Amino acid sequence: MADITKYAAINGGTMISDFGTTKYFSIFSTKRKTASFAYGFIFVFTVFTLFFAFTPSSSNSSSIYSDESYRSHFSPIYYYFFPNSSSSETHNLQPHVGNHTKDGDIMTHTNNATILPKNDKNYTTPSNSSSGLSKGSPIIKNQTESEKQSTIGVTNTTKNFTAEKGVVQNSTSDDLVKSLMNCDLFDGIWVKDESYPLYKPGSCSLIDEQFNCFLNGRPDNEYHKLKWKPKGCTLPRLDGSHMLELLRGKRLVFVGDSLNRNMWESLICILRNSLKDQKKVYEEFGRHHFRTEASYSFVFEDYKCTVEFFVSPFLVQEWEAADKNGTKKETLRLDIIEGFADKYRNADIIVFNTGHWWTHEKTSKGKDYYQEGSHVYSELNVMEAFRKALTTWGRWVDKNVNPKKSLVFFRGYSASHFSGGQWNSGGQCDHETEPIKIETYLTPYPPKMTVLEKVLKGMKTNVTYLNVTRMTDYRKDGHPSIYRKQHLSDEEAKSPLSFQDCSHWCLPGVPDAWNEILYAQLLVKLNQKQLH
């Protein structure tokens, strides 16, 4: 109303009377000439003032729209006429993050499964598959100055918020969410960023010895200074304190093999590192080692949330069956979901994975191992067994997980980099200190992930596919290799290069990027009100 009043005074006669009675207009002989001149002068003055008030200044080249830079775009005359325009009106403006990808790269939803486009020659999928990665030769590079500014601009990815009773006020900026929604987060490059990693190497006591390359004596450190950068947008830096606000009062559960444990430990360290009082983060049962029990749960006391892990390398139930002689033998029930499923079916966010155990000798050969009902297959192709198991998992999710309450993710296959053999035959990667830089050296898209995509398309539940295969394939430098433990057994000490881990990932390292993608997806889901 104050602004309207100022303009009303111009048309109301009071200001004209002041001009009409002043001595500067005495040269006119009649009141009519005086009034005409006064009206004209006021009109010109008003037009001139409004022109300067709303004309942007030339300093509009800044890419970061902060509170100060936004106000500097306008003439101070604007604030003379609008003194009540508080800074809070522009305080919540966010930078425009990235560019939208071309039409062929937008995220698609097929039968409620969120799948990303792929058309790279090295990652071929059936013609009806909408999942995947775009062409282009990713180059591992240092960030340019403009890219660093872009990264800085999205460090705080949300508008200022205050948390009251678990409610996040002023949600994520529209520009950021739109850029993430229309972006293939898995088509990108690794760029060097000196501001990484997200937590100091050696600072997180919760990292399993198997993943703690720094404490195990790895001498190089470039492997944890790389940030994943999608081509079509900017992936926001994972803000641990904000992600905890998103998780307030909720359960986030990881279900799968040791690669999901890798991701789970990464997230625990990131979130814990964001807190001042880390004593209020603890494993529910006081455990300090995470390789022997069937499940673990970290409690973030101040946020009343848990981040949990359930061991389930196949997602279906490991079993025993009697052979003709009555001897018990191990089998895998392709028709039964794993035994702990009821404990996490009501979780708010569930991240599943499987894949690596299907490459082991027993599963890959498939002889007298796979079982449905009372029938044990004398021989079954591993791809068919994998399809049956995932179909069982998908049916269980559709029947037991409430899509109105829970968000479901499936993290895809994480690439291994054994050279000169496999995990159990002397394969090595200890000499690798740089990522793959030429895409022709990447491996073909795993057929098992093509099977997964088909299963996801047939499900009723909206499962978001975290297709990390390609982004991990570049990172031959990120594995523990010989830095998987500090103290070797006598057998290992005799031939240390023969015992290497080229499947899992050093922490800090590649799984931190998976969690940044998960964080970005949660920002989108929150904006779409799927978490409420």
Active site residues: 258, 501, 504
Are the CB atoms for 221 and 192 separated by under 8 Å? Answer: no
Backbone angles phi, psi at 85, to 5 degrees: -75, 100
C-alpha dihedral (325, 328, 329, 332), degrees to nearest 10: 120
- Tracing tokens 């997602």 back to the chain, one arrives at 315
What is d(CA 339, CA 429) in angstroms, rounded to the nearest whole number?
36
> Where does 232-338 have alpha helices with state H?
240-246, 258-273
Half-sphere exposure of 375 (CA within 13 A, CB side): 7
What's the CA gap between 366 and 386, in Å, rounded?
A: 11
Q: Alpha-carbon Rg of the chain, whole angstroms?
A: 30
Cα gap 523→411, rounded to integer Å: 17
Closest CA to 318 of 364, 253, 369: 369
Q: What is the 3-state secondary structure (H, E, C) of 273-285?
A: HCCCCHHHEEECC
**Sheet of 251-256, strand order:** 108-110, 113-115, 463-466, 407-411, 349-352, 251-256, 305-311, 295-300, 281-283
Interatomic CA distance for residues 224 and 203, integer angstroms: 14
For residue 507, how far is the Cα from the chain centroid? Answer: 17
